[in-house]
Amino acid sequence: MTSLKIQNLDVQHGQLKAVRNLSLTVQKGEVVALIGANGAGKTTLLGSIAGVLRTTSGSILLNGQDITDLPSHKRVQAGLALVPEGRKLFTEMTIEENLRLGSTSARPGYWTVDSVLEAFPNLIKRRHSKTGLLSGGEQQATAIGRALMSNPEILILDEVSLGLSPLVVNQVYDSLKRLLETDTTIILVEQDLTRAMKVASRAVCMLEGEIILNKQMSEVSREEITDAYFGLHKVKDR
């Protein structure tokens, strides 16, 4: 069952076309690793899906509903949630206050403050601490938890491990195991290719605003992904 369908999407920053005629279909329950170098257009694509950035042309459909022109909060109500690069927490507010903000446009579902804290037990003792005083790993867990509070059908994670030590990244991914075992559809930007290949069911590689590789993880090699990352070949396989 198709959860997300993007057709012929263009997104411009001024005169720069950051996403070019991009089409992508994501099935319900898939974990898609979106891979590409800095400037490839990954964050722009995610922002346009979430409604943070306006599209120039093309369409975005969620469960068959055209959401291309919906504001971001309406997309949250429709089932999309974005964990942005840099976390974007309210640093003068506590963990619990940040989590509760995530439920402002929430749909009915499993995720509550208690279930988020159960999934991220390192936050329990700090739930009343201001997020500006947290470690990077605790902040990332809070950002993911805040997105989960909307009970999304599609969770978009932009640069989960950015700026975190390998040990802390392991802790974050250990906490994500429950989520990865559910039917939640996940689009994940992850620079750690080894980790991305372990958790994702499909690899989508972008270069210069275009998708140049789109294959099931079971059907693609690390070398092929690396070649696509550096633009050594272009594979159109949608």
**pLDDT (tens digit per residue) in 3-44:** 999 999 999 988 889 999 999 999 999 999 999 999 999 999
Phi/psi class of residue 198: alpha, beta or left (left: φ > 0; alpha: ψ in -120 to 50)? alpha
Q: Which pLDDT score is estimated for 234?
A: 55
Calculate mean pLDDT across residues 53-75.
96
Residue 213 CA to residue 82 CA, distance in Å, equals: 23
Answer whether residue 95 shows pLDDT above 80: yes
pLDDT digits (tens, 9 = 90+) for 132-167: 999 988 998 999 999 999 999 999 999 887 777 888
Q: CA of 83: how far to CAs of 149, 160, 231, in Å?
A: 12, 8, 27
- The architecture in CATH of the region 2-229 reads 3-Layer(aba) Sandwich (3.40)
Q: Compute CA 100 distance to the chain's CA centroid, rounded to the nearest angstrom.
A: 20
As a whole number, the mean pLDDT across the chain is 90
Residue ranges of domains in the chain: 2-229
| Percent of the chain whose pLDDT exceeds 70 | 97
